[in-house]
Structure 1
């Protein structure tokens, strides 16, 4: 992520940071740069006789088949396969096969590693989101960052291998890509490599004979870190490719398929009699797998890994929509996502303090843990994010029995979020001067078109759960894990009366229904 440089808006002093997901250096592969007989394949004008693009959920491989008739009458078949490995976390594999069916012809294959964040992307497209505050601004689209995001570090080429590496300007994160190529053909060919700061280009010129294919397999290792120098990441990338090439490309395809088989065995939802609904359901499950399988301590962005919409931010989607599925199919992924929230607690405590509240307030949208919402009414005012996180935590512990996580880290989430509700709400007294009802005013519920309301039903019901959950966990720890309870009391400065206060507020919560 790249912290976009200070305050993006004031809105009552609520926005403290502009946390934007940088796109990083990406490989756009060989499919966009093939020409035959000096005639480039351009889908805008090409005479395409056959075209098929498919994603095989069983193997985890995206395939494309194109049959193209060039203006000079060359009949060309292009088959392309690619996958980002679930099993080998740093690896992407792309395999391109070109066959000229009806005559001899020169074929050029252009493979690239390219920094699409800062470099010129001739294959990219789309319209970036308009700057904040301008007409047409769409918060679902990625924000355009005017300054350079990725600072070049080490880049080189060695034979068919090439490397690019960067340091993110604001966050200091480092990124390194190392690419290599394996050429398989009985045709004569030459290869040339060009590496600059924002692009590594491998050009293969093949004297293709009729019916004799040429296959180029591109292997890319992708390493990132919050503290390791780029040079070390490049070395790690080199070692990754050395290991992968020793194992063989076929083994990578087999491992990908085996991973997918295991995923579907525990995660599939079978719908009989409606093929379209079955396909749509499996597509959604696949998106969950892509977004969560290799999050590795990070969150699940609102758009998953399908694009850079919402600037890569995490919202409540993770806890309310994603984790309930993962909890029952792959609980480790759910635990990792909850631990990401635990690691955000220092920033969440700071945020609550800025709003003169106790405990912790998780950010409505974030990457680093800082609030990145530019609009208070539809951002920070959605205090229900606290209860959403606690709700997912409670569901996870009930389903898995993972008391170790609950007592070591989860309890901190439960206590600090409950503390916020206890100070955010207020008591209304009856005519006798006794506390009658607990209210929460000035909040925004899930309906972002009706903002800053009093006693939002969803918020109050979820806050009630949060308060009761925290009180129950604390009492359970005192009985079942006294040693961990003592450590928690010291760590959080818990007053023995707090759980009773939370229960009173929960029992008296005003529910406008």
Structure 2
């Protein structure tokens, strides 16, 4: 689609991942472009003509297989850093500019890598979590700084003749083209392509090319940086993550010919991290390379003189690994091996493997829509983000924001089993199975949590990274017991969709049995024999700690019936879990007699018992005040 034919994408695409925070600068894009620059731009991929269409926050051109930013909007960096984030479910690289500045929020994340922080309570209570968990911005390997005759390449200075970025959802890459003239009048053309490998879980790579239009001295600095300064956080929004200062403690460093490895650990959560980089360098002119390494910083510097038409091309390979139990030398060697394997494969093979992986995914996942290109792009973008969030988690949780940013502290919630895992089940079932196995691996913690609450079975956490409850607010946290049924539903959907009983046999049965036991201890029968669940919060979270939430009751009944079915299929394994006919009969009775509130006058099922007796909500008075969690007093909502 040409620029002239492009339609704006308002919220459909941006809402999936965008942060949407305001910055301080204006858009940077094609301004006064001369004949030479126009001719050069006409030959540059992917457009067939120069891009001169400015766009404001909230609108990007429509393309069926990509998200394209034709000019750089500095005021919208928070949004585009999320939109252009790349991840394979294990490594996440926020869509920051290669040179690192300007930025809204720097971000490099590893699934499951977190630090503890205290949860202070003005007035504590029994069973309240004592510490929270926050995902850590780990060692940043995206940084490639460029100096042109000693002037740093920075889009805020000099003249930007062209700036374009494209997230290609078939290639799994983020591409960037910049034509820049330094304040001293030195012109260079920069192209970078970034990927986080689906095929090689521990690897990411960046191909970075500089082309000169005059004779210039080029200094390229490729860096690893740990403990970057966090963004300032001044918000009462509970979805915004805590800012951690210097969360990583240096353990060791290693340097090779064209690369380095930095070793760190967290101070409180006991996690160890290795991050490394290596490079392939190509240049038509002679060049020199230097390596430097410090505790929190490593740099590989390439220096050369380019003449008109000359190019310097650097492929930067990144490797990451972390563990709670493995030694630092073992992690170092793991990352070194990942880098060696990536260099052996080379950039072209990594890119080909990325395309092959996505070709297979899209054969299962793609849905074609005629007549609505905006929806077509949004649907593919959403499917791509689901894949990025969960493809290679393999023993880790899928966070509510994937690995695009620190929203919700990187926690996983019921939404993952409720919405993400079912999509993965139909499009990438191996990834769905890994997500469910991770949840099952936390069952012992869920059993312990249930005991703490005086309940039987297992109570899974409302929000967590490693399986421990970290929600500090009971009404919008632990009281949302429906998460336990949401998890069992995901197991059932996986079995129905794949026809595979193996997951149920290995881990699913235990989850179904223990959650069924939870519901029996949480609910009760009244004198008329109806089964009720009191004091719970439903998924809308606007009616908290209520009786007989319809969603919760129906999901609990489905959970109980699923447990009956699983124990019938896996009789021997069920007996080993202590499940007898009497217990199964109790499950059947509760599911059969579950109370589902109904308003006979209005002929509707209310959200919960007595819901239609509440005062009507004044929608006119709350226009512009959403989300409501940030505005009305708790008394009004709850």
Q: Describe the shift of the 1:341–1:293 C-alpha distance in structure 2 as closer, same or farther (beyond 3 A).
A: same
Q: Does structure 1 conserve the Cα–Cα contact (< 8 Å) formed by 2:456 and 2:521? A: yes
- Alignment of 1:465 onto 2:558: yes
Query: Which deviates more, 150-159 or 348-357?
Result: 150-159
Q: Does structure 1 conserve the Cα–Cα contact (< 8 Å) formed by 2:115 and 2:136? A: no
- Alignment of 1:488 onto 2:488: no
Query: Which deviates more, 239-248 or 223-232?
Result: 239-248
Matches within 5 A, 1:20-99: 20-30=134-144, 33-99=145-211
What is the Cα deviation at residue 227 of structure 1? 1.3
In structure 1, what is the equivalent of residue 346 of structure 2? Answer: 248
Aligned partners of 2:596, 2:378: CA distance in 1, in Å? 37
* Matching residue within 336, 340, 346 for 1:238: 336
- Alignment of 1:383 onto 2:481: yes
Q: Describe the shift of the 1:204–1:396 C-alpha distance in structure 2 as closer, same or farther (beyond 3 A).
A: same
Q: Does structure 2 conserve the Cα–Cα contact (< 8 Å) formed by 1:11 and 1:376? A: no
Matches within 5 A, 1:344-383: 344-383=442-481
In structure 2, what is the equivalent of residue 226 of structure 1? Answer: 324
What is the Cα deviation at residue 126 of structure 1? 4.1
Q: Does structure 1 conserve the Cα–Cα contact (< 8 Å) formed by 2:394 and 2:438? A: no
TM-score by length of 2: 0.73
Query: How far does the alpha carbon of each residue in 1:64-99 deviate from its partner, in whole angstroms, 9 at most, with x for none?
Result: 000012222222110011101110111111111111
* Matching residue within 391, 395, 406 for 1:293: 391
> How many aligned residue pairs are there?
484
What is the Cα deviation at residue 12 of structure 1? 4.3
- Alignment of 1:19 onto 2:130: no
Query: How far does the alpha carbon of each residue in 1:260-317 deviate from its partner, in whole angstroms, 9 at most, with x for none?
Result: 1111111111112222221111111111111111111212100011111111111011
- Alignment of 1:441 onto 2:534: yes
Aligned partners of 1:494, 1:26: CA distance in 2, in Å? 50
Partner of 1:92: helix, strand, or coil? strand
Q: Does structure 2 conserve the Cα–Cα contact (< 8 Å) formed by 1:97 and 1:213? A: yes
Aligned partners of 1:308, 1:137: CA distance in 2, in Å? 15
* Matching residue within 215, 221, 239 for 1:104: 215
* Matching residue within 306, 313, 320 for 2:411: 313
In structure 1, what is the equivalent of residue 84 of structure 2? Answer: none
Q: Does structure 1 conserve the Cα–Cα contact (< 8 Å) formed by 2:114 and 2:465? A: no
Partner of 1:370: helix, strand, or coil? coil
**Runs of 5+ unmatched residues, structure 1:** 131-135, 431-435, 479-484
In structure 2, what is the equivalent of residue 203 of structure 1? Answer: 301
TM-score by length of 1: 0.91
Q: Does structure 1 conserve the Cα–Cα contact (< 8 Å) formed by 2:205 and 2:318? A: yes
Query: How far does the alpha carbon of each residue in 1:206-239 deviate from its partner, in whole angstroms, 9 at most, with x for none?
Result: 2111110111111111122221111111112222
Q: Does structure 2 conserve the Cα–Cα contact (< 8 Å) formed by 1:303 and 1:310? A: yes
Aligned partners of 2:115, 2:143: CA distance in 1, in Å? 29
Aligned partners of 1:94, 1:409: CA distance in 2, in Å? 39
After superposition, the CA RMSD in angstroms is: 1.7
Aligned partners of 1:194, 1:313: CA distance in 2, in Å? 36
In structure 2, what is the equivalent of residue 481 of structure 1? Answer: none
In structure 2, what is the equivalent of residue 482 of structure 1? Answer: none
Aligned partners of 1:362, 1:3: CA distance in 2, in Å? 20
What is the Cα deviation at residue 451 of structure 1? 1.1
What is the Cα deviation at residue 477 of structure 1? 2.4
Partner of 1:155: helix, strand, or coil? strand
Partner of 1:154: helix, strand, or coil? strand
Aligned partners of 2:506, 2:336: CA distance in 1, in Å? 38
Aligned partners of 1:6, 1:119: CA distance in 2, in Å? 21
What is the Cα deviation at residue 172 of structure 1? 2.1
Aligned partners of 1:14, 1:441: CA distance in 2, in Å? 20
Aligned partners of 2:473, 2:426: CA distance in 1, in Å? 35
What is the Cα deviation at residue 56 of structure 1? 1.4
Query: Which deviates more, 37-46 or 358-367?
Result: 37-46
In structure 1, what is the equivalent of residue 589 of structure 2? Answer: 504
What is the Cα deviation at residue 192 of structure 1? 2.1
What is the Cα deviation at residue 351 of structure 1? 0.5
Aligned partners of 1:235, 1:88: CA distance in 2, in Å? 16
Aligned partners of 2:491, 2:535: CA distance in 1, in Å? 26
Aligned partners of 1:310, 1:412: CA distance in 2, in Å? 29
In structure 2, what is the equivalent of residue 170 of structure 1? Answer: 268
What is the Cα deviation at residue 250 of structure 1? 1.6
Q: Does structure 1 conserve the Cα–Cα contact (< 8 Å) formed by 2:272 and 2:323? A: yes
Q: Does structure 1 conserve the Cα–Cα contact (< 8 Å) formed by 2:231 and 2:243? A: no
